[in-house]
Structure 1
Amino acid sequence: MSTIEPTDLVIWGAKGHAKVLREFMPSQNYRIVALIDNNPTIAPPFAGVPVVTGRDGLADFVARHRGALAGIVAIGGFRGRDRIEIQALMSAMGIRVVEAVHPAAFVAGDAVVGTGSHVLAHAALGAEARIGAACILNTSCSVDHECVLGDGVHIAPGAVLAGEVEIGNRSFVGPGAVIASGVQIGADTIIGAGAVVVRDVPANVVAFGNPARIVRANP
């Protein structure tokens, strides 16, 4: 019986989030062949997998590589803009940007996962929910029915979005935060860990607390 050869995969980012992806991407028939990081002194975290430096290092690797190449961005935190830009760079180099859905995640049959997004272990994406490109649904978070997330959004571990929540591009919802049904959160906004959000939150702010209150601008 023939087997399907794994697709070679490059991961941008050589720290913790890359280690998370390493745990399950090989089971989805990807072979990690290189990591990319802007830090030229970072030690390779995986035996036998080189770390190349920045876009020039990636361009050189692509030029020397033979065959199809897939890519994914392993940058967490508040850096949605970086994830979006790096995905565009990969695509421009001919790298096919792929999604990462952990086998222990739940994704409803009619939910939509955008290009390059991650749905990690025990995360849940409910009926008719849609997440944009370069998003992260981190460990054990819940994004319920008909939620809409823009590009580059990160929902941190254990956060809960009730139904019909909308979150703008590049925003971040911290660990354990709870967003009530129907709430709208603007772009480039940070919701702090453990916050309880019961009213709409505008773009470009930081909000903490229970109930969540705006504490400062997020320039």
Structure 2
Amino acid sequence: MEDIVLIGGGGHALSVADAIVNGVNYKIMGYTDVSDTHIPLRYLGTDDILKSLFERGVMNAAITVGYLGKSNIRDRLYYMVKQTGIRLPEIIDPSAVISATADIGEGVFIGKNAVVNAGTKIGKMCIINTGAIIEHNNRIGEYSHIAVGAVLCGDVHVGEHTFIGANATIIQGVQIGMNVIIGAGSIVIGNVPDNGRVIGVG
């Protein structure tokens, strides 16, 4: 079983750790962050330690920073990790249901009881959180975050760096641009341009 390091010591790290412990074939070595966040995992130090970990044979990491109002934090961490040579495997909770015809990108996290249906493509570094449903033939752009319980009906396209809030519903065939925020519980029935915001029905 290979070691894996978690990058980020917040609440999202615990969800990712749980998925790993429950079935993903890695052993958690610990986590890095700017300081010890006192989560129940071993604190390894700041991100500066990653290169030395790679030189000592650690080959895998998971970026466990969730959406903090700026998706480019995960973007920056991705390129930092890639420069060390460490891999970013996808982490999929064993309770998730993933179609054999879905395409899951590098570093993607898929949480408990999430569904990714046939023909869907999830771009690198996305978060598909607990109970989210991504129906057939969706396209989810890189670094996007689909929050807890969100439902994306068939043929929805989501641009990069977009956040879809908890329990939001996106109606079939809708096109959502880049850097969009869809508020929790919103119902999206029409296309949303780049940098758009939807709260309620839009």
Q: TM-score normalised to the size of structure 2? A: 0.93
2:43 maps to 50
Task: Output the CA distance in 2 between the equivalents of 1:43 and 1:111.
Answer: 35
Task: Output the CA distance in 2 between the equivalents of 1:43 and 1:187.
Answer: 32
Give the aligned CA root-mean-square deviation in angstroms: 1.4
Asked which structure has the greater CA Rg, the reply is 1
What's the offset of the Cα at 1:83?
A: 1.6
1:71 equivalent in alignment to 2:66 = no
Task: Output the CA distance in 1 between the equivalents of 2:146 and 2:37.
Answer: 28
2:138 maps to 147
Give deviations 1:162-211, integer Å, cap 9, x for gaps: 000000001000001000001011100100000000000011122101x2
Does the CA contact (< 8 Å) of 1:84 and 1:133 recur in 2?
A: no
Give deviations 1:34-64, integer Å, cap 9, x for gaps: 31113x2x333225x223113x23334434x
Does the CA contact (< 8 Å) of 1:80 and 1:151 recur in 2?
A: no
Counterpart among 23, 32, 57 of residue 28 in structure 2: 32
1:92 maps to 83
Q: Specify the code of the residue in structure 2 equivalent to 1:185.
A: I
SS at match of 2:185: coil
Q: Specify the code of the residue in structure 1 equivalent to 2:49.
A: G
1:59 equivalent in alignment to 2:45 = no
What's the offset of the Cα at 1:139?
A: 0.4
Task: Output the CA distance in 2 between the equivalents of 1:187 and 1:122.
Answer: 26
Task: Output the CA distance in 1 between the equivalents of 2:37 and 2:190.
Answer: 44
1:112 equivalent in alignment to 2:106 = no
Task: Output the CA distance in 2 between the equivalents of 1:179 and 1:205.
Answer: 14
What's the offset of the Cα at 1:68?
A: 4.0
Which piece of structure 1 moves more, 19-28 or 168-177? 19-28
Q: Specify the code of the residue in structure 2 equivalent to 1:93.
A: T
Does the CA contact (< 8 Å) of 2:24 and 2:93 recur in 1?
A: no
1:22 maps to 17
Q: Which runs of 5+ in 2 are unaligned?
A: none
Does the CA contact (< 8 Å) of 1:33 and 1:50 recur in 2?
A: no
Give deviations 1:74-99, integer Å, cap 9, x for gaps: 11124432222212221210101111
Higher relative contact order (CA 8 A, sep 6+): 2
Q: Percent identity?
A: 32
Does the CA contact (< 8 Å) of 2:177 and 2:195 recur in 1?
A: yes
